[in-house]
Structure 1
Amino acid sequence: MTTRIGSGVSRAPVALGLLAVIWILALVTGAWAKGPSRELSANIALGVPTFAEGQVWTLWTSGLFASGFGNYVLASVFVLAIAVPVEHRIGSRRFALAVVVSQGAGAALALAAAELASAVPNSWGLELHGHLTVDPLSWVLGALLAATAAMHTLWRRRLRTLLLVILVTTALFAGHLQDVTRLCVAVVGLLIGPVLFGRAARSPVLGGTIRERRTLVALVVAASVLGPVFAAFSPHAIGPLSSLRELFDQVPYSPRELVDVCADPALHDECRKGQQALRLSGIGPLIMNLMPSVVLLVAAEGLRRGRRAAWLLAVGGHIALIGIAAVSVIVRTVQQDEARWVLYGIHRHSSVYRDFAPLLALLAVLVLLLATRRLFDVRASRGTYRRVWLGTLGAAGLALVLYSVLGTLLADGFDRDPGIGTLLRDAPLRLLPPVYLQLFEPPVLPLSPAATVLFEWVGVLVWTTLCLLLLRSFLAPPAGYDLGGERRVRELLHTPGGSSLSWMSTWAGNRYWFSADGRHAVAYRVHSGVALTTTDPIGEHAGLAGAIDEFARWCLGNGWTPCFYSVGSDTAAIAREYGWSCLQVAEETIVELADLAFKGKKFQDVRTALNRAGKDGIEARWTTYTDAPLSVTEQIVDISEEWAADKGLPEMGFTLGGLAELHDPEVRLLLAVDRDEHVHAVTSWMPVYRDGTLIGLTLDFMRRRSDGFRAAMEFLIASAALSAREEGLEFLSLSGAPLAGAESGESGLDRGALDTLLDLLGRTLEPVYGFRSLLAFKAKFQPRHRPMYMLFPDAAALPTIGIAVGRAYLPHLSLEESGQLLTQLLRR
């Protein structure tokens, strides 16, 4: 135990030393129970008053105290869980610099923000100007944000986005000086990180996978939604967006007292204010007011899944909220009263920032959604949202009937006798959040508990139904996911079987065409009027020519240009007989297993990888994604996201698989795992069948941890080959390398401009995507090379086909990303 403690202290002396100082000061001054006394705070706490008196040291001493025992415990947890690992990672000297600079400069920046906020007459600025705060968490966050400069791109992006979204949200909604200080210290830490580590700050906007970027956008939308909810449940929030807390205001009258007030014509204004307060008080109205936020929260989940409908819902919701906010500002400006602000609540202290800060926040989120619209292109199958709206309309109709019928039965529970006509007129208003109804006089108000439940909760049921139906629609399979077609394709892939790359036909995004006799299938996708196939047609070789001709005629009948992409020599020979153009676009590498033996000088690198893995205690372990434990799948996701993020460019798809393709239970995973169950690399292997018998495996997914076992890929491929040979398989396909080896294959066209163009494109993209380097890497296994072709009926369609191929590989490439890709190519 003593050894462990000594080791921990030696690893993080600064962090643990600061923690010791915090507790010593807490015990000596008696601040451990309820925080520093008023006299002590006047000398050590951060605030405009103490700094104005020349107590500059408060910029740092405020980080050595906490406001109570609970916060001391929380600070200890943060230091041990965050500061200690950070110091161990970046070194004590850098950690100490990060703490001192971020705390001092960040605290000064927070005071400057408080002065700036108080320069304009508003309650938030006045509160900030008078606050004193102590908080050890700020320098922990500052050091963590500084340390992100030394992290891999994936975790750098995740930590920065998550922490900054949380800190900005709490600063805008809670708004205390402590929250502003944490944000400012974190921002300073973010800025000094690249200086400490001698590297330029890198933009996290364009890199990474589609999945990661969708998640980040969804996180921002969710934070913007949860911020008002957080404010609603934080009665002490003072931030510029904290108005929802006032939904908890004490109602000045009970329902029956309000009846007496409204009976006096002289108290009409008091009656109106009392009615507004009564309609906005209680659990039912509070939940009803928050339901639009819940809908947007559901939309955030849809955004995470890339759903187009979720994007439309989020954009439409924010446009509606912006419109309501604008109307509210106009009404308040015209009426000049203390009516509740339509969007968030009461504004006793009307000001420019109170009226426009929520509006600007909504506009910022809307701009983000519009800028990232290309990320959200997953559409639901036909009829999905018709069922959502029909279900919601059905629930609304049932709610209106129940309100009218039960309201008639509970007539004595309302402030006036509500005839059926009055209830029918009021029923649609029960479906709107009460905060949006402040400009309308209520036809009736409930008095009894039963009438109150009916009045307040009938709309909640309808909104809840809408949320559940929307969530269900986002979880449903997307359009183009042909469950029946995929099942038939899998049957053909087993018997009679397909080519070495045919399993890619099962991937999401493909459509399926079947020949008239059902014995052949083609997986394809349509871009720019081109039906682009995924590898060779599947089915019996004897009828291959007829299937190709039938598919081509079917495409032309639909107005599409057929294009067989990444197909083998047999399909290319048939297409040439029809007079089609043929162009080599890739090179597949195949390792024959019958006489495989890693002997001789040419396999030196492979033997070295196998021997080194044995010495380092790394083993090759077969599994599937569905069978792997959660700890393993999380590591696989982290490795993949890190690999994609470090590229700094969009991840390619089409014939290049990603994480989604690993979920297939028939796809095997081979992992490089050490003694501590630490995954160093992962490969995936698609099956190849002939007449129901497994004859080979095809490599697809290859990812290696950047700081892991360097020869992991050689080790895994060699281990897969040896294992497959023992299993009695015939071959391993190391898959194809796009735009690599084009000069070595045969072609139906005279080698000229097109081949020169592809060669130029391959050499240009090489520094970015490394296809030729990949082909050179696979040569270590002495494979047999098989050219892959693109076939098309008319060379005049080649420009359109080129666009279709580009969109297939990079379907989410935006204009901004195109510019970054061009910049990368020119730079390299």
Structure 2
Amino acid sequence: MHFDVSWRDAVRRLPFTLVLAAALVVVGAVTGSLWGRASDESWYRDVAFGLPALREGRWWTPLSSAFVEPGPWMYLVFVVVIVVGMGWAERQLGTVKAILVGVGGHIVSCLLTVALVWLFSAQFASWHWADQLADARATGVGALVVSAVAVASATIRSPWRLRVRVLLGAIVAVAFLFQGTLASVEWVLAATIMLFVGEKFFAVNEHGYVPRTRREVRMLGCAAVLVIAGANLLVFLFPGSGPLGPTDAGDESVYAMLIGLAINVLIADQLRRGKRWAWWVAVVLGSLNVILTVVTLALVAFTDVETEGAVTLGTTLLWGLVLAILVPGRFAFAVPWRVRHVGDPDGDPVDHVRELLREYGGGTMSWMTTWPGNHYLFTDDGRSVVTYQKHVGTLLALADPVCAPERRRAAVGGFIDLAESAGATPCWFSIGTETSEIVTERGWRSVQIAEDTIVDLPDLQFKGKPWQHVRSAMNKATKQDISMRMVTLPDESFAVRTQVRAISEEWVGDKGLPEMGFTLGSVEEAMDRQVRVALAVDPEGNVHGVLSWLPVFAPGGDVAGWTLDIMRRRTDGFGPVVEYLIASSAVAFKDEGAQFISLSGAPLARTGESDADPLDKVLDALGQALEPYYGFRSLHTFKKKFNPRYEPVYLAFRDESDLPRIGLAVSRAYLPDATAGQLLRLAASGKED
């Protein structure tokens, strides 16, 4: 999403944008509106659209009004809007389509605006705002640009499609609620109609309006609350009159405004971080405001009551939008005020878990126990820890206990006692052979759910026929001048981090289901400074692929190996980038003295047939249903290219009566953001297979 600075390329690629911007400036200069108020000129009634203009027979005004702005500063603003907004839309859609949707959307929204103004002024005679609009005339190119941008937003992938739509919606909503001009009504109609047109006729790679990842939900909620804060500040400084009455804050003091602004900014920041308490505060505030809005709107529409609190009323409508974001996306805000743990280690429990991992070592999945969303059970002396998550009344212990070998049996028993004393169903997920044997000694059942794919490094050489695919990928990378950089992601430039996020969120956006969690990390987890990230980069600095590697500690604190976590590639980039990055990472880690890399076990996928165990069938059905969306089994097959050895990964449970709840808990752990409808479709897809 960038523009070529060459004027020749700009003329070739963006002719409509340049002509439109030039026409606006020329008309402004010729008419004198470039340095004065257009509405004061005698010719204004001949070019401005509105209900009076059509009554007077000026049928050309929906088109002529687009080339005149109300005043000098609006010319400056909208020349920039045309260059940025229309320029981007023309680049996305092509010149012909950009003209059709821009001009078409502008004319349709103009005519529909006039029709609605006539209807509301006739039906609600006491509505002062509607009466004012019935006599108003307006000019401006805003609806044309809004129409084009709304349609063009359907052509791009996540996360940019949502970001563009949020920005567009925020501008339109604030203008309508807190200024309420005839032009702002036109913008609302243009955005609403053309978003539908774009989604219906122009969307190709993605469909729908909802956010696809936890991060998108959090950023959307944060942005919505910031819009509320910004709108309150704007109308405090520049009061006007909107559809709900005057936006003058009345006797509100500067201090009251600043306190409200600070509270909103604090809530927005904590929503961005996924904090549960911020979600509750926002939902409670939003609910109270929406109730007040509904009552007040009823009084305005059906009685003679006049409002003076349009700032409050407009804000509460925006809070309604916030609720529409936060309530369906509640699973994105699961980060507690403090990480829950049993036992009382000093300081941050996550830091203590990391200390134990360095002291006692861990398995290939142990670093996942440091991720957000986990809870911890420590022994009284703080020398053992079991990591778990709670879903639908089930405690899912993640990976093996972190402790000295002789303490493992006690740690297992402590977790089982915790679950049973709380009336919850205990379950061990993704454990190794030793922990599996300990729980089966207690009469539990244990089934294999995945295979950890291990590549030993000391004797690794990419020789012979089994490594042909890997050698081919590395040779192609050399020919295309693609190189691998092993980095710590938070230390990279903003441009690199932005590319990594875009590649990851584009990948998630293709799936039709939300971002997965539990044993599958995201870019957020890759931002940990202990995590290494492999980037495939071309000479221009474009990132073609991303791998993240989690450390696997040996007792004493040395890194024995690395576990592959996120694996993303740019859709239009270097083809065999994943094979190249894995092989290059293996070489780099071998040179550092690491003993192995784990390509990790693809969840719910393994070699061979399922056993007859009922849980095998449940997990097999879940893996089968998820396969079209996430390709776990295809991924498992892909990893065979690296000739790994396999180590079994188990799930352990008490008895068959726990299976229904465990199946739901595992589904919710991997898909914490999925709606009920998405889970039903997922279940149906599994049955069809």
Contact residue 742 and residue 755 of structure 1 kept, 8 A:
no
CA distance 1:328–1:812, change in 2 (3 Å) = closer
Which residue does 1:51 correspond to in 2?
A: 54
Which residue does 2:20 correspond to in 1?
A: 18
* Superposition pairs of residues 551-566 of structure 1, within 5 angstroms: 551-553=415-417, 555-566=419-430
Which residue does 1:803 correspond to in 2?
A: 664
Contact residue 537 and residue 548 of structure 1 kept, 8 A:
yes
- Given the alignment of the two structures, is residue 579 of structure 1 paired with residue 443 of structure 2, yes or no? yes
SS where residue 787 of structure 1 aligns? strand
CA distance 1:12–1:743, change in 2 (3 Å) = same
Quote how far apart the aligned CAs of 1:196 are.
Answer: 5.1
**C-alpha distance after superposition, 1:101-123 (max 9, x if no partner):** 11211222222232233222222
Contact residue 222 and residue 300 of structure 1 kept, 8 A:
yes
**C-alpha distance after superposition, 1:727-750 (max 9, x if no partner):** 2221110111111016468xxxx6
Quote how far apart the aligned CAs of 1:507 are.
Answer: 1.5
CA distance 1:116–1:499, change in 2 (3 Å) = same
Contact residue 36 and residue 72 of structure 2 kept, 8 A:
yes
* Superposition pairs of residues 151-166 of structure 1, within 5 angstroms: 151-166=156-171
Q: Pick from 522, 526, 534: which aligns with 2:398?
A: 534
Quote how far apart the aligned CAs of 1:307 are.
Answer: 2.9
- For 1:694 and 1:359, locate their aligned partners in 2 and report how far apart those are by CA, in whole Å: 53
Quote how far apart the aligned CAs of 1:5 are.
Answer: 2.1
CA distance 1:15–1:499, change in 2 (3 Å) = same
* Superposition pairs of residues 400-415 of structure 1, within 5 angstroms: none
- Given the alignment of the two structures, is residue 813 of structure 1 paired with residue 674 of structure 2, yes or no? yes
- Given the alignment of the two structures, is residue 771 of structure 1 paired with residue 632 of structure 2, yes or no? yes
Query: 2:335 is matched by which residue type in structure 1?
Result: V
**C-alpha distance after superposition, 1:560-585 (max 9, x if no partner):** 44322101223223333333211111
**TM-score (ref. length: structure 1):** 0.75
Which residue does 1:790 correspond to in 2?
A: 651
Q: Pick from 3, 6, 18: which aligns with 1:4?
A: 6
- For 1:619 and 1:377, locate their aligned partners in 2 and report how far apart those are by CA, in whole Å: 38
Point out the more displaced range, 196-205 or 650-659: 196-205
- For 2:583 and 2:206, locate their aligned partners in 1 and report how far apart those are by CA, in whole Å: 39
- For 1:542 and 1:201, locate their aligned partners in 2 and report how far apart those are by CA, in whole Å: 52
Query: 2:589 is matched by which residue type in structure 1?
Result: A
Q: Pick from 555, 558, 564: which aligns with 1:699?
A: 564
- For 1:241 and 1:705, locate their aligned partners in 2 and report how far apart those are by CA, in whole Å: 47
**C-alpha distance after superposition, 1:269-307 (max 9, x if no partner):** xxxxxxxxxxx3xxx635437755654554343333333
Quote how far apart the aligned CAs of 1:141 are.
Answer: 2.1
Contact residue 618 and residue 672 of structure 1 kept, 8 A:
yes
CA distance 1:332–1:503, change in 2 (3 Å) = closer
Query: 1:93 is matched by which residue type in structure 2?
Result: V
SS where residue 460 of structure 2 aligns? coil
- Given the alignment of the two structures, is residue 113 of structure 1 paired with residue 116 of structure 2, yes or no? yes
**C-alpha distance after superposition, 1:183-238 (max 9, x if no partner):** 22333332332455375983222x51122113223433443454454333333x22
- For 1:818 and 1:28, locate their aligned partners in 2 and report how far apart those are by CA, in whole Å: 61
Which residue does 1:668 correspond to in 2?
A: 532
- For 2:205 and 2:491, locate their aligned partners in 1 and report how far apart those are by CA, in whole Å: 42
Q: Pick from 33, 36, 44: which aligns with 2:35?
A: 33
* Superposition pairs of residues 615-764 of structure 1, within 5 angstroms: 615-691=479-555, 692-741=557-606, 743=608, 751-764=612-625
Which residue does 1:100 correspond to in 2?
A: 103
Point out the more displaced range, 152-161 or 515-524: 515-524
Contact residue 228 and residue 244 of structure 1 kept, 8 A:
no
- Given the alignment of the two structures, is residue 378 of structure 1 paired with residue 335 of structure 2, yes or no? yes
- Given the alignment of the two structures, is residue 303 of structure 1 paired with residue 262 of structure 2, yes or no? no
Query: 2:20 is matched by which residue type in structure 1?
Result: L
- For 1:68 and 1:335, locate their aligned partners in 2 and report how far apart those are by CA, in whole Å: 37
Unaligned runs of 5+ in 2: none
* Superposition pairs of residues 375-524 of structure 1, within 5 angstroms: 375-381=332-338, 479=340, 483-515=347-379, 519-524=383-388
CA distance 1:335–1:754, change in 2 (3 Å) = closer
Unaligned runs of 5+ in 1: 248-279, 346-354, 382-477
Contact residue 153 and residue 164 of structure 2 kept, 8 A:
yes
Which residue does 1:130 correspond to in 2?
A: 135
- For 2:190 and 2:647, locate their aligned partners in 1 and report how far apart those are by CA, in whole Å: 58
- For 1:86 and 1:139, locate their aligned partners in 2 and report how far apart those are by CA, in whole Å: 11
Query: 1:539 is matched by which residue type in structure 2?
Result: C
Contact residue 388 and residue 395 of structure 2 kept, 8 A:
yes
SS where residue 336 of structure 2 aligns? coil
- For 1:38 and 1:337, locate their aligned partners in 2 and report how far apart those are by CA, in whole Å: 37
Point out the more displaced range, 807-816 or 662-671: 807-816
- For 2:495 and 2:7, locate their aligned partners in 1 and report how far apart those are by CA, in whole Å: 28
Quote how far apart the aligned CAs of 1:767 are.
Answer: 0.9
CA distance 1:825–1:497, change in 2 (3 Å) = same
**C-alpha distance after superposition, 1:406-437 (max 9, x if no partner):** xxxxxxxxxxxxxxxxxxxxxxxxxxxxxxxx
CA distance 1:242–1:564, change in 2 (3 Å) = same
- For 1:326 and 1:507, locate their aligned partners in 2 and report how far apart those are by CA, in whole Å: 42
RMSD over equivalenced CA pairs, Å = 3.4
**C-alpha distance after superposition, 1:235-293 (max 9, x if no partner):** 3x22113433162xxxxxxxxxxxxxxxxxxxxxxxxxxxxxxxx3xxx6354377556
Contact residue 564 and residue 790 of structure 1 kept, 8 A:
yes
- Given the alignment of the two structures, is residue 588 of structure 1 paired with residue 449 of structure 2, yes or no? no
CA distance 1:557–1:290, change in 2 (3 Å) = closer
- For 1:335 and 1:77, locate their aligned partners in 2 and report how far apart those are by CA, in whole Å: 43
CA distance 1:104–1:720, change in 2 (3 Å) = same
Point out the more displaced range, 716-725 or 491-500: 491-500
**C-alpha distance after superposition, 1:527-575 (max 9, x if no partner):** 3443322111223345544543454445445544432210122322333
Contact residue 588 and residue 788 of structure 1 kept, 8 A:
yes
CA distance 1:518–1:374, change in 2 (3 Å) = closer
Query: 1:130 is matched by which residue type in structure 2?
Result: D
Count of matched residue positions in the alignment of Structure 1 and Structure 2: 679
Quote how far apart the aligned CAs of 1:587 are.
Answer: 1.8
Query: 2:337 is matched by which residue type in structure 1?
Result: A
Which residue does 1:217 correspond to in 2?
A: 221
Q: Pick from 67, 86, 89: which aligns with 1:86?
A: 89
CA distance 1:238–1:327, change in 2 (3 Å) = closer
Quote how far apart the aligned CAs of 1:154 are.
Answer: 2.2
Point out the more displaced range, 670-679 or 219-228: 219-228
Contact residue 743 and residue 755 of structure 1 kept, 8 A:
no
SS where residue 360 of structure 2 aligns? coil
Which residue does 1:264 correspond to in 2?
A: none
Quote how far apart the aligned CAs of 1:153 are.
Answer: 3.3
- For 2:681 and 2:544, locate their aligned partners in 1 and report how far apart those are by CA, in whole Å: 30
Query: 2:275 is matched by which residue type in structure 1?
Result: R
CA distance 1:755–1:310, change in 2 (3 Å) = closer
SS where residue 547 of structure 2 aligns? strand
CA distance 1:245–1:302, change in 2 (3 Å) = same
